[in-house]
Chains A and B, each alone.
Chain A
């Protein structure tokens, strides 16, 4: 029962929110101009910033401490920096394209991980406060909603070439957070020397070497995800053309 309250209810609320949000926005904005299509994203990133501010206030007022693990420079915070680039750029530069790619692929993965896998893994975080648990779910479902919305209204056309720049961006962000983690002496989530999921790697080869290896892994994952998406798109196109040919014949 406790598990259901801690994981089930926030997940249900979050999933419901993303479904309703995506459904509503897709219907309303699908046939509108590019500028109008960006409006839901502006709403989402303002909401993400508000959620971040709420988190800081909550930690300072209720918990009386703002630990380094909760600083907004974790992997999921990347989205807060990419949305403004997408929404406030006048031309579709490489930075905008990469921001779009980074707002879709990792967000879909993280969102679904939160829905199905992470509730047990993140129990250490969620058990310490129901409010923060709810906050975390809501934040990640906002990410998922934004990504799904961008896919459905076709805000970004996948190009295989983009895997390189997006992989490099993730690696650069990763290294930046690692250096920051060392400088502030804190243990940023996933970036500190004692962060749980990759600690075995840090112990085996050393913290800095482990980070370099993770950057390579990020590049390979970027390549794999773009290759997979492009394969799916080309298969879909082939099927569509063959169907059209059949109809013509």
Chain B
């Protein structure tokens, strides 16, 4: 209960803090700098999370139940491609990354095994996971403010999630990282697919509102001469 609450609080407040800072200190290319900084931080945190958890158990060479693999690992790789690839492929990754930014949070809400570890006495890996969820959302918001998302991005995001599902099945089957593919696993996957659509819907609504606001401002400007 407290874990879910803290996950939601951190995931909400981290983007708010960063975006408020961006609004307060209006500097050139701040958005781009923030995206780059946060991406590198995201990668560093993911690596740190792996080492924090992996170093705690015996036989760390062989992947087992304690390996901190989840959608967030895939999200980190996609984020790197989305930020550092400036070609057409980069745009595809950008769309897929933005639309799947809610998936790590959903996965954590439904299955606490993605962030908890019995050996992690100070809950460092858990804190890193929660912060990473916040970072993913922040990068997604910043990317959305810079680049438009097309309807095709829904398809790329769905393919990304499907790849993750297949990978997870393989990992579960061969490496026994989790207990089994349960009904809850399926429900989480369905909710994750729904979240892609939900994010796109919210994005379209925000675009519509922004356009209306802009038109209103232009009309007011014309009236005032």
Contacts and interface: CB of A to CB of B under 8 A. Distances in A.
A120 B169 CA distance: 58
B123 A207 contact: yes
Q: Interface on chain B toward A: helix, strand, loop, or mixed SS?
A: helix
A206 B17 contact: no
A182 interface: yes
A208 interface: yes
Place the interface of chain A in its size category. Answer: 10 to 19
A206 B127 contact: yes
A193 interface: yes
B123 A216 contact: no
Chain A binding surface SS class: helix
Interface string A206-231: 11111111001001000000000000
Interface string A149-168: 00000000000010010001
B223 to A, nearest CB: 31
Nearest to A212: B127
A94 to B, nearest CB: 9
A164 B20 contact: yes
A205 B6 contact: yes
Interface of B: 2-3, 6, 9-10, 13, 17, 20-21, 24-25, 120, 122-124, 126-128, 130-131
Interface of A: 161, 164, 168, 182, 193, 204-213, 216, 219
Given A207-B122, A208-B124, 13 more contacts: A164-B24, A164-B25, A168-B21, A182-B122, A205-B123, A206-B122, A206-B123, A207-B124, A209-B127, A212-B10, A212-B130, A213-B6, A219-B17
Give 7 nearest A-B pairs by CB, closest first: A206-B123, A208-B127, A204-B2, A207-B122, A208-B124, A209-B127, A208-B123
